[in-house]
């Protein structure tokens, strides 16, 4: 049973030396527990933020295996509600096998493509849908701006907003990604934040200002975007990836002034807050996938041993769409 543990907590940029691959004992399922074979693991920017300290979950410590959300197959069950062969979602770790409490795993429906339960119908699609619909409240004709637009959450935010009839502007790193966001994701425009002149580019791409800004990155991009908000605009605080992998965080300097003057609403959320609306979200996403208004974007890295590099690469922006690691065939 291979397992990837944290060798040392990073104080600045994450590197492969912060991880170690170990051969751990095969875990045993106790009373009410299940033994699970990990098939797909979600690689999230949040993995890096858990290494910085407690967030909405406990901090990850040196010596711990990296926690992850995973899709697994049940190989042994001491739980009456779960059978061998069931496919379940579970709080797992970067491992080949894990043990979980039977009542803590979620049985998944039989689907053609398992990975879709982590991308469009999973954490990425749900985060995009709930944040945009419940906090952003976009109305047809409004301008929606979203950062990390070529990433998993950002790509769905823009496509949903487009399906709702909004003008959609993305922010992403590099000309090739921006072209992909416009051509493949169907955004009206995408701005390369690595180029100088972000404010000028925002002014050109958002001639009527911004009504909803879906912020995945925080920092300087948030600061610049706030300056283009319309009065009564909504800022959806989803994450702050620009602040996770650095020892030198840079918060927006225009807070709270710009919030007051423009009467903005700025609200954070965690995807689980809206679990009661998940069924509605999945139905909506299925509809848009069916009509072709939403394209499923996935970026699957093969092999447990490649999980550290998959996370390091995600932080550096080498992914397009939802990044997953395939640990075993389904
Ligand atoms: P993504 O698939 O969106 O990938 C992250 C992207 O962020 C990279 O591809 C990179 O693209 C971009 N990025 C990295 N560094 C910077 C930087 N310094 N400035 C601007 N962009 C940067 O990852 P996730 O889907 O895991 O996460 C997206 C955001 O959503 C994160 O902030 C995450 O914490 C948040 N999140 C929040 C949830 C919630 O419940 N609130 C749930 C899930 C995710 P590029 O090449 O464009 O730089």
pLDDT in tens, 237-295: 999 999 999 888 888 999 999 999 999 999 999 999 999 999 999 999 999 999 999 99
Q: What is the pLDDT of residue 191?
A: 98
Residues of the chain within CATH 3.90.180.10 domain(s) are 2-119+297-326
Q: Considering only CA atoms, which residue is closest to atom 31 of ligand 1?
A: 239
69 lines ligand 1 (CB under 6 A): no
Burial 242-275, CB ≥16 within 10 A → b, else e? bbbbeeeeeebeeeeebbeebebebeeeebeebe
Q: How confident is the model at residue 50 (pLDDT cuts 50, 70, 90)?
A: very high
Residue 55 has pLDDT above 80, yes or no: no
User: Measured from the CA of 321, which atom of ligand 1 is nearest?
Assistant: 2
Q: Which residue has the tokens 């948030």?
A: 222
3-class DSSP state of 144: strand
For a mutational test of ligand 1's pocket, the pick from 317, 318, 321, 324, i.e. the residue with the most ligand atoms closer than 8 A to its C-beta, is: 317
Q: What is the pLDDT of residue 249?
A: 87
Over pLDDT 70: what percentage of the chain? 100
Q: What is the pLDDT of residue 252?
A: 95
Q: How much is the average pLDDT of 51-64?
A: 87
State phi, psi for 209 to the nearest 5 degrees.
Answer: 75, -175
> CB burial class (10 A; 0-12, 13-18, 19+) of residue 40?
buried
CB atoms within 10 A of CB 73: 18
pTM (2 d.p.)? 0.95
What confidence tens digit (pLDDT) does each residue in 276-290 have? 999 999 999 999 999
Over pLDDT 90: what percentage of the chain? 94
Q: What is the pLDDT of residue 79?
A: 97
What confidence tens digit (pLDDT) does each residue in 160-169 have? 999 999 999 9
User: Measured from the CA of 240, which atom of ligand 1 is nearest?
Assistant: 32
Q: Considering only CA atoms, which residue is closest to atom 32 of ligand 1?
A: 239
Average pLDDT, the chain: 96
For a mutational test of ligand 1's pocket, the pick from 69, 127, 151, i.e. the residue with the most ligand atoms closer than 8 A to its C-beta, is: 151
Q: What is the pLDDT of residue 83?
A: 97
Distance 126 CA to ligand 1 centre (A): 15
Residue bearing the bigger pLDDT, 55 or 83: 83
238 lines ligand 1 (CB under 6 A): yes
What confidence tens digit (pLDDT) does each residue in 16-33 have? 999 999 999 999 999 999
Does domain 123-273+284-288 fall into CATH 3.20.20.140? no
Q: How confident is the model at residue 59 (pLDDT cuts 50, 70, 90)?
A: confident
Distance 151 CA to ligand 1 centre (A): 6
Residue 184 has pLDDT above 90, yes or no: yes
Separation of alpha carbons 97 and 243, rounded Å: 32
CA angle 298, 304, 308 (to 5 degrees): 80
Q: What is the pLDDT of residue 281?
A: 98
Q: What is the pLDDT of residue 177?
A: 97
> Roughly how many angstroms between the first and final C-alpha of the chain, as a whole number?
18
Alpha helices, DSSP H, located in the chain: 45-50, 123-130, 152-163, 175-183, 198-205, 219-226, 257-261, 278-291, 307-316
Residue 56 has pLDDT above 90, yes or no: no
217 lines ligand 1 (CB under 6 A): yes
Note the CATH number of domain 2-119+297-326: 3.90.180.10
Q: Considering only CA atoms, which residue is closest to atom 10 of ligand 1?
A: 317
Residues of the chain within CATH 3.40.50.720 domain(s) are 123-273+284-288
């Amino acid at each position: 049973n291979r397992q990837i543990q944290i060798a040392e907590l990073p104080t600045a940029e994450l590197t492969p030396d912060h991880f170690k691959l170990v051969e751990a004992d095969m875990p045993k399922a106790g009373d009410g527990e299940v033994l699970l074979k990990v098939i797909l693991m979600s690689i999230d920017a949040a993995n890096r933020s858990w290494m910085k300290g407690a967030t909405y979950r406990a901090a990850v410590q040196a010596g711990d295996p990296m926690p992850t959300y995973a899709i697994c197959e049940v190989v042994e069950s001491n739980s009456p509600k779960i059978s061998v062969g069931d496919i379940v979602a579970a709080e797992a770790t970067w491992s080949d096998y894990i043990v979980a409490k039977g009542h803590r795993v979620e049985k998944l429906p039989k689907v053609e493509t398992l990975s879709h339960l982590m991308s469009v119908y999973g954490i990425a699609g749900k985060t995009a849908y709930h944040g945009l619909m419940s906090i952003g409240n976009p109305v047809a004709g409004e301008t929606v701006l979203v950062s990390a637009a070529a990433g998993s959450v950002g790509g769905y935010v823009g496509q949903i907003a487009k399906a709702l009839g909004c003008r959609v502007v993305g922010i992403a790193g590099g000309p090739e990604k921006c072209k992909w966001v416009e051509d493949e994701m169907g955004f009206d425009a995408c701005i390369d934040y690595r180029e100088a002149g972000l404010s000028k580019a925002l002014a050109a791409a958002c001639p009527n200002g911004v009504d909803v800004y879906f912020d995945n990155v925080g920092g300087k991009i948030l600061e610049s975007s706030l300056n283009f908000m319309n009065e009564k605009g909504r800022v959806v605080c989803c994450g702050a990836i620009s602040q996770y992998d650095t020892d030198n965080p840079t918060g927006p300097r225009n807070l709270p002034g710009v919030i007051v003057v423009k009467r903005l609403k700025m609200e954070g959320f965690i995807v689980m807050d809206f679990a009661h609306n998940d069924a509605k979200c999945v139905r909506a996403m299925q509809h848009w996938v069916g009509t072709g208004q939403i394209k499923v974007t996935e970026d699957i890295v093969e092999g447990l041993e490649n999980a550290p590099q998959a996370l390091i690469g995600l932080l550096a922006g080498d992914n397009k769409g939802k990044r997953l690691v395939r640990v075993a065939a389904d």
